[in-house]
Amino acid sequence: MLYELTAYELNKKLQKKEFSSKELTDAVNSRIESVEKNVDAYVTFIEGKPDNNDNVAGIFRNIPVAVKDNICTKGIKTTCSSKILENYVPIYDATVVKKLKEARVAFTGKTNLDEFAMGSSTENSAFKITKNPWDTKRVPGGSSGGSAAAVAAGECIAALGSDTGGSIRQPASFCGVVGMKPTYGLVSRYGLVAFASSLDQIGPITKDVTDCAHLLKAIAGHDAFDSTSLNTEIPDYPKALTSNVKGLKIGVIKELVAEGIESGIEHVFSEAAKKLESKGAQIVEVSMPHIEYALPAYYLIAPSEASSNLARFDGVRYGFRAQAEDLLEMYKKTRSVGFGEEVKRRIMLGTYALSTGYFEAYYGQAQKIRTLIIEDFKKAFEKADVLVSPTTPSTAFEIGEKTDDPLQMYLSDIATIPANLAGIPAISVPCGLSEGLPVGFQIMGKHLDEMTVLKTAYALEQTIEFKEKPKLN
């Protein structure tokens, strides 16, 4: 089936004219028609038209790609899966969308997410709950659950997600696909609807590491429209894809392979690490003593930034507006009705943390902990070239299982949040199954060292040869 192949494989076959671009688009559209009713990955569909310009290079030409619905698309609704932006149509493209248009991808649509990217299960969408293609009674993870589920189900070949505290890597782990959060500032955030500006980063979700490297190359680069964009040379990421990891020092973070990790996850992770060791890599244990404070620090910093960023949704300039007798009542009604429960919870948390008398005690302290975690990473990287851990403490949980307990939901991001706080690159690669559900192996690298992260991920992928697919009809 064409929808099961990677972009790299499809590009080779398209060049050999084994099938046409239209046949590929039709195959993916047919797959969407067949399984979308069971998965609910999309908020909006886009009719991708094949490009006939043979002068355009790159493996993503005419490849069906989905975009998370918090990334702006000119003339196409961008809802953030929120009632407040239900009918919002941007007048410009996000920089990453512009880059994908230049690469001549065939867009399939905008994918579902936890409202404003706030959540770990894609149950917080105002429109629908996305299901995990491996077991439709389970969540796909979040907040980029729609993108990860669409890739896993063959409803697109690759997708873009955004990652603020694990929102690419955690759903990639749950859905058995590859997901990467690049170094903060490597990929432009212009046109990404902001959640937490010092943490947000756009990245690829793909079927394998090769596609991930190629898609990252397509979207990375300096952007004058993003003041946090890094003006740095972009390496040729696909050149990192060699299986030679002889002498590579791989640091296992002991605090992330400890209490709270499911035994099945720990076993699959340990076996995968041994396979890298068998290829000549050196496994060392590293300690990051402040990493246990990453979760509380994140849940002060991210809501504080969200409180500030979401203040713009007031019913005046764009988006949903409630009918009211006066301006103040209109503000209150618009935000009460327009935002979902989780978004309101985080706005209140953030507003409290930033308020007079509490700012230094909460937000200020959280930023100090962030600095300590960055220092922990620097020390750990003195002992190892990359750092590894399970991506998630559990496999995909059942829909509704954690909705009444926000703290349990937040704990599913315990291993992914530290990389966002430090701004370093991290990837999740499927490394096996635990009780029939995918397990993700997380690899973190030094600032701007995506090449070593991708090399390690590729070596792991080639060694494990994870071939299992969800049995979705």
Question: Which is catalytic among the residues 21, 82, 125, 143?
Answer: 143
Which whole number is the average pLDDT over 10-15? 95
Compute the distance between CA of residue 60 and CA of residue 218 in angstroms, rounded to an integer: 9
Express each pLDDT in 156-200 by its tens digit: 999 999 999 999 999 999 999 999 999 999 999 999 999 999 999
Hey, which residues does 44 pair with through a beta bridge? 110
User: Residue 149 above 90 pLDDT?
Assistant: yes
Predicted confidence at residue 54, as pLDDT, reads 59
> With DSSP H G I counted as helix, E B as strand and the rest as coil, what are the percentages for the chain, rounded to 5?
40, 15, 45
Q: How confident is the model at residue 404 (pLDDT cuts 50, 70, 90)?
A: confident
Which whole number is the average pLDDT over 130-136? 98
Q: Provide the greatest CA pair distance for the chain.
A: 71
Output the pTM of the full model: 0.97
Predicted confidence at residue 45, as pLDDT, reads 97
Which whole number is the average pLDDT over 446-471? 96
User: Residue 260 above 80 pLDDT?
Assistant: yes
- Are 110 and 89 contacting, i.e. CB atoms less than 8 angstroms apart? no
Tokens read off for 122? 């894609």
- Are 211 and 164 contacting, i.e. CB atoms less than 8 angstroms apart? no
User: Residue 48 above 90 pLDDT?
Assistant: no
User: Residue 49 above 80 pLDDT?
Assistant: no
Hey, which residues does 68 pair with through a beta bridge? 111
Which whole number is the average pLDDT over 205-221? 98
Strands (E), 147-223: 158-162, 178-181, 202-206
Q: Between 348 and 53, name the one with better pLDDT.
A: 348
Is 68 an active-site residue?
Answer: yes
Express each pLDDT in 239-258 by its tens digit: 999 989 999 999 999 999 98
Which whole number is the average pLDDT over 411-438? 97
Which whole number is the average pLDDT over 60-81? 97
Q: How confident is the model at residue 396 (pLDDT cuts 50, 70, 90)?
A: very high
Cα-Cα-Cα-Cα dihedral of 264, 207, 147, 59, to 10°? 160
Q: How confident is the model at residue 84 (pLDDT cuts 50, 70, 90)?
A: very high
Tokens read off for 150? 């669409």
Is 143 an active-site residue?
Answer: yes
**Phi and psi at residue 160, to the nearest 5°:** -105, 140
Closest by Cα among 215, 181, 217 to 199: 181
Domains of the chain: 2-244+460-464 (3.90.1300.10)
* Beta pairing, strands 437-445 & 426-434: antiparallel
One-letter amino acid of 319: G
User: Residue 116 above 80 pLDDT?
Assistant: yes
Predicted confidence at residue 318, as pLDDT, reads 84
Q: How confident is the model at residue 473 (pLDDT cuts 50, 70, 90)?
A: low
Closest by Cα among 323, 307, 346 to 114: 346
Compute the distance between CA of residue 25 and CA of residue 28 in angstroms, rounded to an integer: 5
Predicted confidence at residue 272, as pLDDT, reads 98
Closest by Cα among 15, 16, 20 to 2: 20
**Phi and psi at residue 334, to the nearest 5°:** -60, -50
Predicted confidence at residue 211, as pLDDT, reads 98
- List, edge to edge, every strand of the sheet that includes 178-181: 42-45, 106-111, 64-68, 158-162, 202-206, 178-181, 426-434, 437-445, 386-390, 249-253, 282-286
Q: Whole-number mean pLDDT of the chain?
A: 96
Give me Rg for the CA atoms of the chain: 21
377 exposure class (CB count in 10 Å sphere: 0-12, 13-18, 19+): buried
**CA angle, corner 25, sides to 218 and 201, nearest 5?**
30
Calculate helix-pair angle for 7-15, 209-219, nearest 10 degrees.
80
- Are 120 and 409 contacting, i.e. CB atoms less than 8 angstroms apart? yes
Question: Could you write out the DSSP letters of every residue in 339-385?
Answer: S-HHHHHHHHHHHHHHSTTTTIIIIIHHHHHHHHHHHHHHHHHHH-S
User: Residue 33 above 80 pLDDT?
Assistant: yes
Question: Which is catalytic among the residues 125, 144, 167, 229?
Answer: 167
Tokens read off for 356? 């007079």
Give, as one character, the DSSP assignment of residue 322. Answer: -
With a CB cutoff of 8 Å and minimum separation 6, the contacts of 324 are 330, 332, 333, 334
Is 167 an active-site residue?
Answer: yes
